[in-house]
Amino acid sequence: MKKIGKVVVASALSLGLLTGVGGFHAPSAEAASNGTSKCEYAKIYHYVKSGDTLSGIAAKHGVSVNTIMKNNNISNPDKIYVGQKLFIKYSNVQICDS
């Protein structure tokens, strides 16, 4: 892992966390507490597009459909909508203060 400024990065490009690089578009990342002082793991989100299915989204991100359903309180896997922001999982990238 590399420490760049205040961010610890573990191959962020391969995780799809950096956007706007050469037209590359990937899921967004937001900070979420991991219980340790001054560092937080980034969250990976997916914004539903036309034609997306939970099984396709799960396969793309390497998680199960049940994981996505549980993380987003979805009771019916056929009821997702375009523009919906789905929390997929925590990444192994940490965002650290100081």
The reply to whether the predicted model has a pTM over 0.85 is: no
Predicted confidence band at 35 (pLDDT cuts at 50, 70, 90)?
Answer: low
Question: Which position has the token pair 């896997």?
Answer: 77
Q: How many CA atoms lie within 13 A of 6 on its CB side?
A: 8
CATH topology classification for 39-96: Membrane-bound Lytic Murein Transglycosylase D; Chain A (3.10.350)
pLDDT of residue 87: 97
76: left (phi over 0), alpha (psi -120 to 50) or beta: beta
- Residue pLDDT, tens place only, 60-91: 999 999 999 999 999 999 999 999 999 999 99
Could you tell me the residue ranges of all domains in the chain?
A: 39-96
pLDDT at 3 over 70: no
